[in-house]
Amino acid sequence: MLDRERTLAKLDELHGYLGELRHIVPESYARYMESVEKRRACERVLQIAVECVMDVCALFVSGLRLGLPAEEDDLIEKLEQAGLISSEMAKVLKRMKGFRNILVQEYGRN
């Protein structure tokens, strides 16, 4: 059974991260590149927002008993196969997840 309270809490958490990101994102790419602190703040908030989205996916897969995922891509594929998300949304989620992984790997190099 889908855990409604946990799902809503995660969605509320995501809403908060997106609001925070809107508040701190610079008005231009040039301004973004001027400040390492601003870049890192934006990147970190974006990273945890994507993690939050993946947590919601996991809650749906688990709650709807769509099977045991071996990795995060399986979460997306199971939701798509169940008809809960479109193939276009699955592609977007996979790109978000991939971008998050790049942020994590490159975080210390900035």
> What domains sit in the chain, N to C, each tagged with a CATH number?
4-109 (1.20.120)
Helical H runs in the chain? 4-24, 29-34, 36-63, 72-81, 87-106
Residue type, 71: E
Question: Quick one: CA torsion of 78, 83, 86, 90, rounded to 10 degrees?
Answer: -10
Residue 17 in tokens = 């991260």
- pLDDT score recorded for residue 1: 86
CB burial of 38-56 (b: ≥16 within 10 Å; e: otherwise) equals: eeeebbebbbbbbbbbbbb
List pLDDT tens digits, range 32-59. 899 889 999 999 999 999 999 999 999 9
- pLDDT score recorded for residue 104: 74
Q: Is 43 left (phi over 0), alpha (psi -120 to 50) or beta?
A: alpha
State what percent of residues in the chain have pLDDT above 70: 95
